[in-house]
A and B are shown apart, each in its own frame.
Chain A
Amino acid sequence: ETGVTQTPRHLVMGMTNKKSLKCEQHLGHNAMYWYKQSAKKPLELMFVYSLEERVENNSVPSRFSPECPNSSHLFLHLHTLQPEDSALYLCASSQDGFLTYNEQFFGPGTRLTVL
């Protein structure tokens, strides 16, 4: 595997279910991101982990719970979601550092549908 991978690619869940999204990066990066992409809206940054420490949480509801066990893996745990949470969830990674380019590499996303 190369780049950034995400599983599952598609997920349908009920509002009472608990599920997890997984992201893995094979690029040796030290920062990972979760974004939410909804139709006709800009990408919304949800969480950022830098050196396995959460450095940003953009007022995301507690029904979304991130986890970063190491620099290569990032999870997004989901529980009691709402239909408006249906969206494409993108994971990205970059190499952290000041005054550097820090290009973000994106995964293919998980298409989430909440019934």
Chain B
Amino acid sequence: AQTVTQSQPEMSVQEAETVTLSCTYDTSESDYYLFWYKQPPSRQMILVIRQEAYKQQNATENRFSVNFQKAAKSFSLKISDSQLGDAAMYFCAYRFLGANAGGTSYGKLTFGQGTILTVHP
């Protein structure tokens, strides 16, 4: 079974600084997606960034980028120029790319425990 581990329950960063959130995962599969989701306080969870395992190039979305190390099964999120609006719970998630048990194809996600990010002005 796949597992996702976020070893940092809480992190903090000064506004305009850079912070990196860690995520490791365990899988025997070779084709999968990895995601970072953001859950602001009392607001909906939204997708921040995704990475396809077959791509060597690290994904980037504006101030958000990842460091994907497939051999090490590591998938960290870097937030540059942190803003107050970045304060949230961040979840790392894994999805196997193939068929699920029973031949279904829905996007089953395995989540980490989450990291609470505080941004100080």
**Given A101-B50, A103-B47, A106-B46: A96 in contact with B105 (beta carbons within 8 A):** yes
Q: How large is the interface on B (under 10, 10 to 19, 20 to 34, 35 or more residues)?
A: 20 to 34
Question: Which B residues are in CB contact (< 8 Å) with A33?
Answer: 106
Contact indicator B102/A55 (Cβ below 8 Å): yes
CB of A60 within 8 A of chain B? no
Question: Which A residues are in CB contact (< 8 Å) with B9?
Answer: 40
Contact indicator B43/A108 (Cβ below 8 Å): yes
Q: How large is the interface on A (under 10, 10 to 19, 20 to 34, 35 or more residues)?
A: 20 to 34
**Given A42-B4, A108-B43: A97 in contact with B113 (beta carbons within 8 A):** no
Beta-carbon contacts of A2-37 to B below 8 Å, as 1s and 0s? 011000000000000000000000000001010000
Residue of B nearest to A6 (CB): B44
Contact indicator B44/A106 (Cβ below 8 Å): yes
Contact indicator A45/B45 (Cβ below 8 Å): no
A contact patch SS: loop
Of the listed stretches B13-21, B67-75, B80-88, B91-99, name the one at the interface; the rest are far from the partner chain.
Answer: B91-99
Contact indicator B43/A31 (Cβ below 8 Å): no
Q: Once the chains are docked, how many angstroms separate the CA of A56 from the CA of B108? A: 10
Contact indicator A42/B113 (Cβ below 8 Å): yes
Can you list 18 pairs linking A and B with CB atoms under 8 Å apart?
A: A3-B44, A4-B44, A33-B106, A42-B4, A43-B111, A45-B108, A48-B106, A48-B108, A50-B105, A90-B45, A96-B106, A97-B105, A99-B97, A100-B105, A101-B50, A102-B105, A108-B42, A108-B43
Report, nearest first, the 4 A-B pairs whose CB atoms are least far apart.
Answer: A102-B107, A106-B45, A43-B111, A31-B106
